[in-house]
């Protein structure tokens, strides 16, 4: 067997870039507001309007809606990071209320588990496992802070709560490598990976010149760490070499090309610099923060990025990132390549959502709610008749790998005795217990592959799941509160199959599955408990369980 | 991936003429998925063993001695089997085998800290925050391995001292986790290759078959690359488990084990040979810790002597088995060591003029490329960086060094800046 196609996702983006290079340069510039749907339309309706229009043009019939069992699993994985318990699933599926989905979504958005899950997601997005912002993000999401606030605090706030790690750790973990800090700020907040432009003008995007990279770097180049605190100098300029070897001095310039005026400040002489060093050392010894600059370029960056003319960078980027997370494929892909050479698949939709984001002062919950209530989000992921349509059409739901946290949580929840939940008194009790169970499962997260573009499962996961004794004891034990324990108390193979499949996969088994699993169990009557463990193993290691579909 | 190829077809059908300018890129791209060419590479069965000298081995005590110079240190240079080529007297065994080995004495790689240097010499380029580059092993596994291989295609013995190596290597970089190495830190087998006792072999197998049946139902309606990789990872479990004995040198005749000797480095080299023989395209074996800031000469007496023995035994063993022609041995560090001898009789980090060697597959044995100056302070002739070394390695094992991958719209050449191979050390 040979490789199946290229591993590096060349096709659709590449094609799109060429396409764009030929036909539509400049198409990613914001569309004029007058051409967009009115601002007061519901978010979900606007999404479906634009997505459907493209599908109609492409003459593609979208997949039907996912069924309730599928939908409740998807929504809960996306909003609270775990699969539903059998009780929660039953309640949703059985409800006859026409607004049961909005009800569920609104309840989830207010739940503590929503906070936990957003912390996991944003911490990974912002830190990728090197350092963490969990303390800060927990506070921020618990208090419902907007992305605008978070952006400001991540770049500027050195102390929010004296007992907690501050948001400025975002800067602190990167301050030793200012090129990285520049690029991470640009890519995470503005959707623009400009590292290409570090050494030469961007080859694919006419928007990005070296001036942009060093212009943006100028905003953070005076930032330093002293005694565990982040400080900023009053002086210092960035210069760089062009590919032709010409030395240039960077201007203080935002990505939009906007130049910033700042007070003149001469470079201090050596004596003054020495005095400054001594002062810093003294402060470090006393564990005091360094003195504030008279003019903070970093604060200026935040201010400029939030101005009406510039804030579309921040808005479009967060819209695209949240969209990509919830839908499985961004309106612009890759999410850090938002430039005129790589326009959105649905430019008006992106612009409408970005405008809505800015108008709502960057309310993340509002966007998430709008997306998960759209028909686009709710489509089935099944597509069998022909090759799957281009992901950028959003004709069918994407299949997304569970994040390590989601998979760990799901493993623990799915292998818990399904009848236990029925003994709990209230829906709140169920949610509370489910949250604790999910948290226990998340301790497995470090063993699984983080989600990335071009995600692949490695053999280290399959070998571990196949041959690690901890998997046996943690997920396949036959104790009183575990799934296998419940199954062994059932005396009929058919019912065992039904219980196992519906507990792990959240749906009833189909005929072929019933037959295969029942046969498996019946041929192992001499070792029936082992057989049950093996059945559960085959379900929790299966693709249907491993993915959010 | 089917949607991708469909798009490309549709696209090419309408605007083929317009994309001529991009044809070069498209070719680079399609090489990946052209079965004919891939099969051609496969036929050749080229392999790589990387002998990684973690911490930075001294070029002066190995392949670029400077006897009699102020920087030379106490060791002499000795004549090798190749007239005119001398190496350190600490390598007498290699001296007699020099006809199979090429030396490059003109590396200037600029990065002289352990982390940065090691990353650079694993990636063949400076790391960048924006792209998760695959390392040498991942690229070789990708290019020379086969998708359903029953043996691991990238095995990395790392040492506790050096750590697990560059961060990107752990995930296969943008090539994906399929090409991440199987890590081992001592001479035991990788984790989870053996079945736990509580399940019988037949149940272990049939459980996997049940899993496969259930998963395939899902995969049929969800044909995506990620889902495919999931099922492929499980499909490889049983095969990989059967490769467990490759890690067991007890399976080797005593006479062979005696030749390699008892050190961990030697035994891992023997495991590497067993893996290579069974079809693993890339094995990294590490020896630490060469970082001789003090007592450089004592450290190197011990480590170079061992290297000399292990490397020459490995060469002989591969040759005896007819594997040397298809196996490239790369002996490499993150950097070399300063010609200047410090007060503690040590040598410090030095990336400006250091050496590496290539042996076996595709190599013009006995050749020496590049020159350092009389004291070894700078490159006097033939300066190359990591990219040209990697280009040379790829060329030696039949991988087109000018090939490109694509990460999103961005073309990423296998070799940074499309650097040329050093043809002088190749046949």
Alpha helices in B261-339 (DSSP H): 264-278, 296-320
Asked whether residue A9 carries a pLDDT value surpassing 60, the answer given is no
Q: What is the pLDDT of residue A351?
A: 97
- Residue A542, CB half-sphere, CA atoms under 13 Å: how many? 28
Question: CB-based contact (8 Å) between A224 and chain B?
Answer: no
Q: Are A95 and A87 in contact (CB under 8 A)?
A: no
Across the interface, of A399, A463, A510, the residue whose CB is closest to B193 is: A463
* φ, ψ at B407 (rounded to 5°): -110, 105
For A213-254, write each residue's pLDDT tens digit: 999 999 999 999 999 899 999 999 999 988 888 899 999 999
Across the interface, of A13, A195, A524, the residue whose CB is closest to B409 is: A13
- Per mean pLDDT, which range of A276-285, A445-454, B29-38 is the poorest? B29-38
**Each residue of A272-284: b (16+ CB within 10 Å) or e?**
eeeebeeebeebb
Across the interface, of B142, B223, B409, the residue whose CB is closest to A342 is: B409
Distance CA B53, CA B355 (A): 12
Q: What is the pLDDT of residue A350?
A: 98
Distance CA B114, CA A331 (A): 41
Taking an 8 Å cut-off on Cβ atoms, the answer to whether B2 and A387 are in contact is yes
Question: CB-based contact (8 Å) between A199 and chain B?
Answer: no
Asked whether residue A182 carries a pLDDT value surpassing 50, the answer given is yes
Q: Which has more pLDDT, B402 or A207?
A: B402
Q: What is the pLDDT of residue A31?
A: 57
How many contacts (CB atoms, under 8 Å) link A and B? 266
Nearest-CA distance B4 → chain A (Å): 5
A494-A415-A506-A405 Cα dihedral, nearest 10 degrees: -160
For A493-516, write each residue's pLDDT tens digit: 999 999 999 999 999 999 999 999
- How is chain B split into domains, by residue range? 20-190+260-425, 194-242
Across the interface, of A5, A13, A342, the residue whose CB is closest to B5 is: A5
Nearest-CA distance A43 → chain B (Å): 28
Distance CA A86, CA A437 (A): 14
Contacts of A7 in chain B (CB under 8 A): 32, 142, 175-176, 178, 225
Contacts of A187 in chain B (CB under 8 A): 130
Q: Which has more pLDDT, A457 or A129?
A: A457
Question: SS3 helix, strand, coil % of chain B, rounded to 5?
Answer: 45, 15, 40
Chain A from 158 to 197: CB within 8 A of any B CB: 177, 179-180, 183-184, 187, 193, 195-196
Q: Under 8 Å CB-to-CB from A255, ≥6 apart: which residues? A: A186, A190, A192, A194, A207, A212, A215, A216, A310, A313
Taking an 8 Å cut-off on Cβ atoms, the answer to whether A19 and B130 are in contact is no
Could you tell me how far CA B286 lies from the centroid of its own chain? 11
B232-B235-B237-B238 Cα dihedral, nearest 10 degrees: -160
Question: CB-based contact (8 Å) between A23 and chain B?
Answer: no
pLDDT band at residue A12 using 50, 70 and 90 as cut-offs:
very low
Q: Are B74 and B90 in contact (CB under 8 A)?
A: no
pTM of the model: 0.85
B386-B392-B396-B400 Cα dihedral, nearest 10 degrees: 100
Q: DSSP string spanning B111-158?
A: --SHHHHHHHHHHTS---SS-----HHHHHHHHHS-TT-SS-SEEEE-
What is the mean pLDDT of the segment spanning A245-272? 91
Q: What is the pLDDT of residue A203?
A: 65
Report the percent of chain A where pLDDT is more than 70. 92
* φ, ψ at B371 (rounded to 5°): -150, 140
Q: Which has more pLDDT, A265 or B204?
A: B204
Taking an 8 Å cut-off on Cβ atoms, the answer to whether A455 and B229 are in contact is yes
Q: Indicate the length of chain A as a whole number.
A: 549
Q: Which has more pLDDT, A162 or A462?
A: A462
Two tokens, residue B137 = 């092993």
Chain A from 371 to 390: CB within 8 A of any B CB: 381-384, 387-390
Q: Which has more pLDDT, B253 or A451?
A: B253
Asked whether residue A423 carries a pLDDT value surpassing 80, the answer given is yes
The gap between the terminal CA atoms of chain B, to the nearest Å, is 38
Mean pLDDT in order along chain B per 10 residues (427 residues)? 37 32 32 44 77 97 97 97 97 98 98 91 87 92 87 86 60 86 79 93 97 96 94 94 93 97 95 95 94 96 98 98 96 97 96 98 97 98 98 97 88 94 97
Q: Which has more pLDDT, A11 or B91?
A: B91
- How is chain A split into domains, by residue range? 35-64+311-398, 117-305, 404-548
Asked whether residue A117 carries a pLDDT value surpassing 90, the answer given is yes
What is the mean pLDDT of the segment spanning A293-316? 96
Q: Are B152 and B243 in contact (CB under 8 A)?
A: yes
Predicted ipTM?
Answer: 0.90
Q: What is the pLDDT of residue A265?
A: 82
For B270-318, write each residue's pLDDT tens digit: 999 999 999 999 999 999 999 999 999 999 999 999 999 999 999 999 9
Task: Please choose, from the candidates B123, B104, B51, B36, the residue with its C-alpha nearest in 3D space to the C-alpha of residue B413.
Answer: B123
Kindly report whether the peptide bond that precedes residue B83 is cis, defined as omega within 30 degrees of 0.
no
Taking an 8 Å cut-off on Cβ atoms, the answer to whether B22 and A18 are in contact is yes
Distance CA B406, CA B398 (A): 20
Task: Please choose, from the candidates B321, B322, B395, the residue with its C-alpha nearest in 3D space to the C-alpha of residue B358.
Answer: B395
User: Is the Cα torsion angle B257, B259, B263, B266 positive or negative in sign?
Assistant: negative
* φ, ψ at B159 (rounded to 5°): -105, 150
Taking an 8 Å cut-off on Cβ atoms, the answer to whether A9 and B407 are in contact is yes
Q: Are A293 and A360 in contact (CB under 8 A)?
A: no
Look at the domain B20-190+260-425 and name its fold. Answer: Alkaline Phosphatase, subunit A (3.40.720)
B235, closest residue in chain A (CA to CA): A462
* φ, ψ at B330 (rounded to 5°): -110, 125
- Tell me the CA distances in angstroms from A55 to A51, A346, A376, B29, B174, one per residue in order: 6, 11, 11, 29, 31
Mean pLDDT, rounded, of chain A: 91
A352-A353-A354-A357 Cα dihedral, nearest 10 degrees: 130
Task: Please choose, from the candidates A116, A92, A112, the residue with its C-alpha nearest in 3D space to the C-alpha of residue A104.
Answer: A92
Taking an 8 Å cut-off on Cβ atoms, the answer to whether B171 and A449 are in contact is yes
Q: If phi over 0 gives left and psi between -120 and 50 gives alpha, with beta otherwise, what is residue A228?
A: left
What is the mean pLDDT of the segment spanning A38-56? 97
Q: Helices A364-372 and A100-109 meet at what angle, rounded to 10?
A: 150
- Tell me the CA distances in angstroms from B301 to B74, B89, B290, one per residue in order: 11, 10, 11
Residue A116 DSSP one-character state: H
Could you tell me how far CA B266 lies from the centroid of its own chain? 17
| Burial degree of B73 (CB within 10 A; 0-12, 13-18, 19+) | buried
- Residue B184, CB half-sphere, CA atoms under 13 Å: how many? 28
For B210-250, write each residue's pLDDT tens digit: 999 999 999 999 999 999 999 999 999 999 999 999 999 99
Q: Under 8 Å CB-to-CB from B250, ≥6 apart: which residues? A: none
Q: Indicate the length of chain B as a whole number.
A: 427
Contacts of A388 in chain B (CB under 8 A): 2-3, 223-224
B171-A174-A305-A23 Cα dihedral, nearest 10 degrees: -30
A187, closest residue in chain B (CA to CA): B130
Nearest-CA distance B198 → chain A (Å): 9
Q: Which has more pLDDT, A184 or A27?
A: A184
B206-B211-B217-B220 Cα dihedral, nearest 10 degrees: -100
Asked whether residue A62 carries a pLDDT value surpassing 50, the answer given is yes
Chain A from 60 to 89: CB within 8 A of any B CB: none
Taking an 8 Å cut-off on Cβ atoms, the answer to whether B409 and A180 are in contact is no
| Chain A interface disruption, residue of B2, B12, B129, B231, most A CBs within 10 A | B129
Nearest-CA distance A38 → chain B (Å): 33
Q: Are B377 and B363 in contact (CB under 8 A)?
A: no
């Amino acid at each position: 067997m040979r490789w199946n196609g290229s591993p590096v996702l060349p096709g659709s983006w590449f094609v799109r870039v060429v396409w764009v290079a030929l036909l539509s340069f400049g198409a990613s510039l914001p569309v004029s507001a007058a051409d967009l749907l009115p601002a007061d339309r519901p978010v979900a309706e606007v999404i479906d309007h634009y997505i459907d229009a493209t599908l109609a043009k492409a003459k593609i019939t979208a997949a039907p809606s996912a069924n309730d069992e599928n939908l409740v699993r998807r929504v809960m994985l996306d909003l609270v990071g775990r699969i539903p318990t059998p009780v929660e699933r039953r309640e949703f599926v059985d409800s006859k209320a026409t607004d049961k989905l909005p009800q569920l979504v609104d309840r989830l958005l207010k739940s503590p588990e929503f906070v936990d899950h957003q912390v996991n997601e944003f911490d990974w997005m912002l830190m990728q496992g090197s350092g963490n912002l969990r303390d800060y993000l927990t506070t921020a999401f618990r208090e419902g802070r907007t992305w605008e606030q978070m952006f400001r605090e991540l770049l500027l706030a050195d102390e929010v709560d004296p007992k907690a790690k501050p948001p400025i750790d975002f800067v602190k973990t990167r301050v030793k490598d200012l090129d990285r800090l520049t690029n991470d700020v640009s890519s995470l907040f503005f959707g623009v990976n400009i590292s290409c432009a570090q050494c030469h003008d961007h080859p694919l995007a006419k928007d990005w010149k070296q001036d942009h990279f060093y212009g943006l770097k100028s905003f953070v180049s005076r930032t330093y760490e002293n005694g565990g605190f982040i400080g900023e100098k009053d002086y210092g300029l960035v210069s760089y070499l062009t590919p032709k070897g010409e030395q240039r001095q960077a201007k203080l310039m935002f990505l939009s090309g906007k130049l910033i005026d700042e007070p003149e400040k001469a470079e201090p002489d050596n004596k003054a610099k020495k005095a400054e060093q001594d002062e810093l050392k003294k402060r470090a010894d006393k564990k005091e923060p360094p003195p504030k600059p008279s003019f903070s370029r970093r604060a200026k960056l935040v201010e400029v990025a939030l101005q009406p003319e510039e804030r579309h960078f921040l808005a479009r980027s967060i819209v695209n990132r949240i969209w990509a997370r919830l839908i499985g494929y961004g309106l612009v892909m890759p999410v850090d390549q938002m430039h005129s050479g790589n326009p959105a698949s649905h430019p008006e939709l992106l612009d409408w959502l970005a405008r809505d984001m800015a108008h709502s002062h960057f309310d993340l919950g509002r966007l998430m709610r709008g997306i998960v209530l759209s028909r686009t989000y709710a489509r089935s992921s099944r597509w069998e008749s022909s090759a799957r349509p281009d992901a950028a059409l959003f004709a069918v739901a994407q299949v997304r790998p569970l994040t390590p946290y989601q998979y760990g949580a799901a493993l623990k929840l799915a292998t818990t005795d399904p009848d236990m939940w029925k003994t709990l008194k209230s829906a709140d009790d169920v949610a509370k217990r489910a949250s604790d169970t999910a948290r226990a499962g998340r301790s497995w997260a470090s063993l699984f592959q983080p989600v990335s573009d071009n995600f692949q499962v490695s053999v280290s996961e399959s070998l571990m799941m196949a041959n690690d004794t901890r998997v046996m004891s943690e997920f396949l034990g036959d104790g009183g509160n575990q799934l296998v324990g419940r199954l062994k108390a059932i005396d009929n193979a058919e019912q065992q199959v039904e219980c196992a499949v519906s507990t792990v996969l959240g749906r009833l088994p189909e005929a072929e599955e019933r037959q295969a699993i029942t046969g498996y169990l019946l041929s192992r009557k001499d070792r029936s408990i082992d057989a049950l463990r093996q059945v559960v193993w085959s379900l929790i290691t299966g693709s249907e369980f491993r993915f959010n579909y | 991936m089917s949607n991708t190829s469909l798009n490309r077809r549709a696209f090419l059908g309408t605007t083929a003429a317009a994309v001529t300018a991009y044809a070069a890129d498209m070719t680079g791209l399609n090489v990946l998925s052209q079965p004919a060419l891939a099969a051609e590479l496969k036929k050749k069965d080229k392999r790589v063993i990387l002998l990684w000298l973690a911490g930075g081995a001294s070029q002066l005590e190995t392949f670029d001695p400077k006897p009699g110079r102020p920087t030379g240190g106490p060791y002499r240079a000795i004549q090798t089997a190749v007239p005119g080529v001398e190496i350190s007297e600490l390598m007498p065994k290699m001296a007699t085998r020099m006809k199979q080995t090429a030396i490059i004495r003109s590396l200037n790689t600029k990065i002289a800290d352990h982390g940065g240097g090691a990353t650079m010499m694993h990636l063949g380029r400076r790391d960048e925050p924006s792209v998760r580059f695959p390392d040498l092993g991942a690229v070789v596994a990708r290019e020379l391995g086969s998708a359903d291989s029953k043996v691991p295609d990238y095995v990395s013995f790392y040492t506790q001292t050096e750590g697990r190596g560059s961060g990107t290597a752990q995930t296969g970089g943008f090539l994906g986790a399929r090409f991440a190495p199987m890590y081992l830190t001592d001479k035991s087998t990788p984790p989870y290759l053996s079945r736990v006792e509580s399940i019988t072999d037949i149940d272990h197998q049939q459980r996997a078959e049940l899993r496969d049946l259930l998963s395939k139902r899902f995969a049929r309606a969800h044909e995506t690359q990620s889902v495919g990789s999931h099922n492929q990872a499980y499909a490889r479990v049983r095969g990989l488990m059967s490769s467990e004995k490759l890690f067991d040198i007890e399976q080797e005749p005593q006479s062979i084990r005696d030749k390699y000797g008892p050190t961990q480095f030697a035994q891992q080299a023997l495991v590497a040979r067993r893996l290579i023989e069974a079809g693993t395209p890339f094995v990294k074996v590490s020896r630490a810790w060469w970082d001789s800031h003090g007592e450089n000469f004592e450290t190197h007496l011990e480590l170079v002597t061992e290297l000399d023995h292990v490397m020459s035994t490995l060469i002989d063993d591969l040759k005896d088995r007819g594997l040397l022609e298809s196996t490239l041995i790369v002996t490499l560090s993150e950097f070399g060591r300063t010609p200047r001898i410090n007060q503690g009789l040590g040598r410090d980090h030095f990336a400006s003029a250091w050496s590496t060697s290539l042996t076996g597959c595709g190599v013009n044995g006995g050749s020496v490329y590049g020159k350092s100056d009389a004291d070894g302070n700078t490159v006097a002739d033939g300066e190359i960086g990591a990219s040209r070394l990697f280009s040379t390695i790829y060329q030696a094992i039949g991988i087109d060094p000018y090939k490109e991958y694509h990460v999103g719209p961005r073309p990423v050449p296998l070799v940074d800046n499309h650097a040329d191979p050093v043809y002088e050390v190749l046949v």
